[in-house]
C-alpha cells in the first residue's frame, strides 16, 4: 500500500493551459444563484458545481504539458498584439455540452450576447497563427461558462447574466487539483 501512495505522490502534475475571460463579481454571483436555483428546482440532477473562483469563458487553448518555454513565450507575446476594445456579453440560457467521462457540462451560453467572445477568439487565433502557433482544432469553441457537471441534460432560458469584458487571461489549470494559476493578463483596448 505504501508503494502505491509513493507512486501516486510522484505522479507528474498535468496541465491544461488556455486563454479565457473571467466574469466580474456581479456576474459570478448571478451564475451561482442560477446554478443553485436550477439544482433546487430540478432535484433529479446529480451535479458537481464549479467553484466560483474558477468560473471562466474559455477562448482558445488546450495546450498541454510539457509546454516548452519558447512556445509559452510566443503565445504570451502574440496575446500582447491583440487589439480588441472592451465588450459587453450576455448569457441568457443554460445548455448541456458533453463534458467527457460520461458527464454533461451544464453551461451558460447565449445568442447575440456572445458575439464579442467570437471576435476576441478570432483576433487571438490570428495573433497565434502569425506567431507560428497553429491550433489543433480548426473550429473555435462555442463561448460558454461551465457552472457544473451533471448526469442529465438541460436546456432552459434564464434571466440574462451580463458583464463587460475588459481583459483576457492565460490560465494554467492543474488537472485533478481544482486549481487555476494565472500566467498572464492582457487588457481589452482598441
Q: Which residue has the higher pLDDT, 183 or 141?
A: 183
- DSSP state, residue 130: H
Whether 30 is in a domain gets the answer yes
Residue among 77, 108, 96, 41 at smallest CA distance from 170:
77
Whether 40 is in a domain gets the answer yes
Domain region containing 31: 13-187
Provide DSSP, 70-110. HHHHHHHHHHTT-----EEEEEEEEEEEEEETTEEEEEEE-
The pLDDT value recorded for residue 17 is 85
Q: What is the pLDDT confidence band of residue 44, given thresholds at 50, 70 and 90? A: low
Whether 8 is in a domain gets the answer no
Model pLDDT for residues 88-135, shown as the tens digit of each residue: 999 999 998 886 666 788 899 998 889 999 999 999 999 999 998 876
The pLDDT value recorded for residue 166 is 97
Is the pLDDT at 2 greater than 60, yes or no? Answer: no
Whether 127 is in a domain gets the answer yes
Whether 92 is in a domain gets the answer yes
Highest mean pLDDT of the ranges 14-23, 74-83, 151-160: 74-83
The pLDDT value recorded for residue 64 is 67
Whether 23 is in a domain gets the answer yes
When divided into structural domains, the chain yields a total of 1
C-alpha cell at 114: 456572445
The pLDDT value recorded for residue 100 is 62
C-alpha cell at 88: 459587453
Whether 183 is in a domain gets the answer yes
Is the pLDDT at 171 greater than 60, yes or no? Answer: yes
Whether 1 is in a domain gets the answer no
pTM of the model: 0.85
Element (H, E) at 32: helix 25-41
Instruction: Please tell me whether the peptide bond between 66 and the residue prior to it is cis, using omega within 30 degrees of 0.
Output: yes
CATH number at residue 71: 3.90.1140.10
Amino acid at each position: 500500500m505504501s508503494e502505491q501512495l509513493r507512486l501516486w505522490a510522484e505522479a507528474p502534475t498535468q496541465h491544461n493551459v488556455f486563454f479565457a475571460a473571467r466574469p466580474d463579481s456581479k456576474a459570478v454571483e448571478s451564475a451561482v444563484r442560477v446554478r443553485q436555483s436550477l439544482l433546487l428546482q430540478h432535484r433529479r440532477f446529480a451535479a458537481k458545481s464549479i467553484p466560483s473562483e474558477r468560473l471562466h469563458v474559455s477562448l482558445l487553448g488546450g495546450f498541454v504539458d510539457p509546454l516548452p518555454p519558447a512556445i509559452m513565450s510566443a503565445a504570451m507575446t502574440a496575446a500582447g498584439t491583440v487589439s480588441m476594445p472592451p465588450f459587453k456579453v450576455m448569457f441568457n440560457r443554460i445548455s448541456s455540452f458533453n463534458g467527457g467521462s460520461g458527464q454533461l457540462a451544464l453551461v451558460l451560453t447565449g445568442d447575440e450576447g456572445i458575439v464579442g467572445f467570437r471576435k476576441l477568439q478570432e483576433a487571438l487565433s490570428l495573433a497565434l497563427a502569425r506567431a507560428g502557433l497553429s491550433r489543433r482544432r480548426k473550429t473555435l469553441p462555442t463561448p460558454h461558462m461551465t457552472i457544473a457537471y451533471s448526469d442529465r441534460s438541460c436546456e432552459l432560458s434564464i434571466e440574462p447574466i451580463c458583464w463587460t469584458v475588459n481583459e483576457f487571461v492565460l490560465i494554467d489549470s492543474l488537472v485533478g487539483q481544482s486549481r487555476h494559476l494565472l500566467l498572464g493578463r492582457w487588457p481589452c483596448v482598441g
